[in-house]
Amino acid sequence: MSVTTPDPLAQAFVRFSVEAGVLRFGEFKTKAGRLSPYFFNAGLFDDGAKLGRLAEFYARRLVASGVEFDMLFGPAYKGITLAAAVAIELARLGRNVPYAYNRKEAKDHGEGGTLVGAPVRGRVLIIDDVISAGTSVRESVALITAAGGQPCGVAIALDRQEMATENGADAPWSAVQLVRRHFGIEVVSVATLADLLQYLATNEDPQLQRCAAPVQAYRQRYGC
């Protein structure tokens, strides 16, 4: 059996997520009703240092991906902070791009509308934490298109690489694959479930090593 060479950036991100308490192991119920042996909660990147480091991972992955974009878009609510932080980090790296985000409810005073920030135009890259069902991406694509922009891709922190659910049943593709197929746009992830498994399998901490078997079993049952 061939062994995939570890991706240094992905391995560093998984390590950072575990140490920050953002990536946890145990038994967690997902939106699809599955019992997952791990849980990734990007909302726990909750201080300046952690958010800055997270933005660095996104920016480095985006630069390496070669995806061409003119601006960033952050879907409410988690995507707002992510898009702002990634825009700051990209500027620090010498790539200054505008960003915008949406409100859940339109304002009828001030600037009005549901979009805030730079005018949405050109190739627009959506920044989010994960893609669970593709709903957030679908809404973002609609907003960007209506504003005159061209959705060109989605950047996420973790690709769970598991079957999406459609009409209450398991689909033969993941939510990320569905987004690629349905919208014809690229999805860039800082790390994947495969990267997480590599991290667990090679970690020297016995407690983390024990987490590898249930995560692998979950992937075999629900993986894409």
Which residues are known catalytic residues? 107, 109
Distances in Å between the Cα of 31 and the Cα atoms of 83, 88, 196, 200, 203 are 24, 32, 20, 24, 29
